[in-house]
Each structure stands twice: as C-alpha cells, then as structure tokens.
Amino acid sequence: MTTAARTLAEFAVGLHYEVIPNAAIERAKTCIIDTIGAMTFGADLPWSRIMVEYVQRTSAPGQGSIVGTEHKARGQLAALANGVLAHAFELDSLCDPSVGVHPGASLTAPGIPVAQAQGRSGKELLTAFVAGFEVMYRIGDAARHSSEKIGFHAPGLTGVFGGAIVTGLLMKLDVERMTNALGIAGSLCSGLLEFSRSGGGMVKRLHLGRAAEGGAMAATLAREGYTGPETVLEGKYGFLNVFAKESEPLRLTKGLGEEWHTLKTMLKRYACHITAHVPVTAALELKAKHGFDGANVASVVIATNEKVVSHHNITEPQDTMMAQYSVPFCVALALHRDPGDPKVFGDVSLNDPSIRAVCRNTTVTEYPTAQARTRFSTRLTVTLKDGRELSTEAHDYEGMPSRPLSREQLRVKFLKLTAGTKVYDPQAVLAKLEALEDLASVTSLFD
C-alpha cells in the first residue's frame, strides 16, 4: 500500500507552476511579502541578535540571506535564523481554519536562502512554497490541531514537514528522496508550550527557527542518500500517533491537487497572538464609538473561543512574549495605546500600571458555540469607572481569508515593518516581490 508520505512527495515533485491557480499564487506571494516584512522588523530584537550572532559563529560562508541583516550563511543555518526572525514578534502568518501551521515562517524562512544558494527563479520559489503549504496544511489538518492539547507547540511540529518540501523542491529532489526527507523530518519535530506558563518566552521564537532548520536539514540529508521511515505520518509510532491527541489520517491526502489550502492564508494586523486579533479589533471599535480612554476602564469581560479560556487567559504576564500571548493583556493595551504599531508591544506597555490593572481585572469566558459566526467570535464588555457598561461584538478582522488585505494595505504594512532597515531599499525589494514570478533569480532579491 502506498504511504501518505510517498503520495505527498509525488504530488510535490510533480507540481508545476502552470497548474497552480492564480489565486493560490497570489496568496503565496502575499505570504512571502508579509513574512519578509516580519523578518526585517524582527531582525534587531534582542533574541534575534543572539540567534544571528550564533549563526555567524557557527556557519561557514554561504549565499543565503539572513533577512534584515547584512549577513549571509549556509542554507540550513540561514533558515534557522530566518525562522526565529519571522516569529520574533508575533507578526507572521497563519491559516483559517487553523490547523497549527505558520506558513510564512515555515516556508519562507528556509525557502529564501536555499533558493538563493541554488540560483532558483521566483517561479520556482513560488511553486515550492505552494507545494510545501499544501503538504504541511494537510499534516496539521490530519492531526486535528490536537498537538497543543498535550503540550506541544504545533507550528514547531508541522513546520519541519513544510520546510522539507519547499527546500527539497528547490534542491530538485526526486520522489524517493523527497519521501525520505519527510521521513527524516518527523524525527526533527520539537517545541513545548511551557513558555506560556512561566518566563523564558524567548524560546517560543526558536520553535519556528528549528522547524525551518529541520526542514532544510531533512532535505539536505535526503539529497545525500540519508533515509527515513516512509510510514512517518500514519505508522504506529509515526507523527499522528505520537504528536496528536486526535487524528484523521485520511485528511493527509484528501483533495490533493484539487483543493488549494494556500488560499486559507491569514495575515496578522497586530503584533500579538491570533486569538487576540478580534478581541483587540472589538476594543478599538468600542473605544472609537464611545470616546473613552483606557485609564477610565474598571474591568473587562471577554467572551470568546475556548482556546483563549484554556491557553491565553494570562492576567499576570511575566515577559513580552507572555504579554503577546495573553488576550487580556492585548485588549488592555488596545484600550490604552495603538496596537497597530508593533513597537507598543514592549517593556513600556508591559510595565504600565494602568494596562496591568485592566489586564488583572479582565475576565475571560467562552462565547456560546451555537451563536458563533466564526471561531473568533467575541463579545467584549467594558465597565468604566463611572459605572457605565459598554458592549460590542466582533467576528472577524481584515487579514482573514474572508477579508484579505488589499494590495495597498499589504504595501503599507510591509513598509511600516521595514521602515528602519538600512540593509536594503524597502521600496525596491517590494517591487521585486510584487513581481516575484518574473524574477530570474532569487539571488538578486536584496541587491
């Protein structure tokens, strides 16, 4: 019987740019643009500098860009740094419906340096990106996003498989070697959720770096003849039986080549966890409508999805990462400051007594499932210090597949995130990215 890994490898190796729907190509390009913006913004953060310095010390000279810096490294280590930079400040993309994948960080981070080293074109990068997305999404979907129920950070698991596909295609692996790349990738999955329960939040940024690095390592080893189990996904001790609390193996190959999950790309508007985006949007709408300030707020009640209740109801965040992961904190911040500026999610806000007080006085409950229009449906109720009680509901935000960013909105976000860089000309790089399918070689992307 043909295994899922071989079927997925055959799909990826056989995929051609010309058969991918234009809409999927556009979503892939949008995701790459968004991720390069996130990497550039993340490049100068303390935890990013630690990683970049580590890669500089460790890597032999290479052709792969560490995006947002002047440094280059070998593909695998450049992928490690890029993954950390992409996930450095909660700005990278996801999917809706969610299956525990971060496509931009998992695919762009290893894809850019490997494409540069291999001298690949923009079309080849886009094709590899879509193939990686389709495979990675199906693996997450088959796991039913249940890895986090047992303590794993899902993108650190699924991202390795996506990275193996995107880099394997850029290395021109055949089906046999690509199957082995997936088999190897299964032993490189990692990432625990304990960062959300105590300090040490920098490690969360590492999870996407390790996923990108692991994907590139798996493909490189497979290219050289290294092998991995073909039953890595559905086997007794394979991914679905080890890392997932619930699974549906048939979803591994369902609709392959017919349904394009790349269209489910979801971009962020704020530098915080995705579960906070609709509550933050509701807070901004309520504040604008009634003209109050965060200092006037006595308490907040947020009715939203169950995952916020179980994972993101953090009222005393200990560091910036925990604050970005905390829906109460993000709403409290939005009631005081402009969350559209990623720089406000830092120590100044974390140590603001008024924001901390509102966060501490926030209650999170579950939104009635029967009434929810989306998985993010939120009812936000704010009680002011003068006794007034104000309430609103929100169900989505601009950036979701149902409300994608316009080209102009994407340009504005990219230029905002890259405004401080002196490494490249943001306008020039954006122009190349917007016409990525015409770029003869990704090697010249940042020239």
Average pLDDT along the chain: 96
For residues 240-256, average pLDDT: 97
Domain co-membership, 345 together with 422: no
> CATH number, domain at 352?
3.30.1330.120
How much is the average pLDDT of 128-149?
Answer: 97
Average pLDDT on 355-382 reads 96
Distance CA 234, CA 239 (A): 7
Q: Are residues 59 and 31 in the same domain?
A: yes
The backbone region for 165, taken as left when phi is positive above 0, alpha when psi lies in -120 to 50, beta otherwise, is: alpha
Query: 216 and 296: one domain?
Result: no
The Cα–Cα gap between 193 and 310 comes to: 12
Residue range of the domain that includes 173: 4-269+403-444
Q: Do 218 and 363 belong together in one domain? A: no
Is the same domain home to 356 and 440? no
Q: Is the pLDDT of residue 313 over 80?
A: yes
Q: Mark whether 283 and 194 lie in a shared domain.
A: no
> Is residue 374 located within the same domain as residue 422?
no
Output the pLDDT for position 54. Answer: 98
Answer yes or no: do 233 and 328 share one domain: no
Same domain, 287 and 365: yes
The pLDDT confidence band at residue 201, using thresholds 50, 70 and 90, is confident
CB burial of 240-275 (b: ≥16 within 10 Å; e: otherwise) equals beebbeebebebbbeebeeebbbbbbbbbbbbbbbb
Residue 302 phi, psi dihedral angles, 5° rounding? -115, 115
Which of 369, 394, 419 terminates a domain? The answer is: 394
Say if residue 90 is in the same domain as residue 105: yes
User: Residue 199: pLDDT above 90?
Assistant: no
Residue that is last in its domain, among 352, 370, 394: 394
| Judgement on whether residues 18 and 107 belong to the same structural domain of the protein | yes
User: From residue 437, how far is each of 21, 63, 109, 139 by CA, in Å?
Assistant: 13, 21, 18, 27
Report, as an integer, the average pLDDT of 388-403.
95
Please give the model's pTM, rounded to 2 decimal places: 0.95
Residue 1: which pLDDT band, with cuts at 50, 70 and 90? confident
346 class by beta-carbon count within 10 Å (0-12 exposed, 13-18 middle, 19+ buried):
middle
Q: Is the Cβ–Cβ distance between 182 and 161 less than 8 Å? A: yes
Q: Given this model, what pLDDT does residue 81 score?
A: 98
Q: List the CATH number of the domain containing 173.
A: 1.10.4100.10
* Mean pLDDT value across residues 53-79: 96
The rounded percent of the chain whose pLDDT value lies above 70 is 100
Indicate whether 216 and 293 sit together in one domain: no
Domain count, the chain: 2
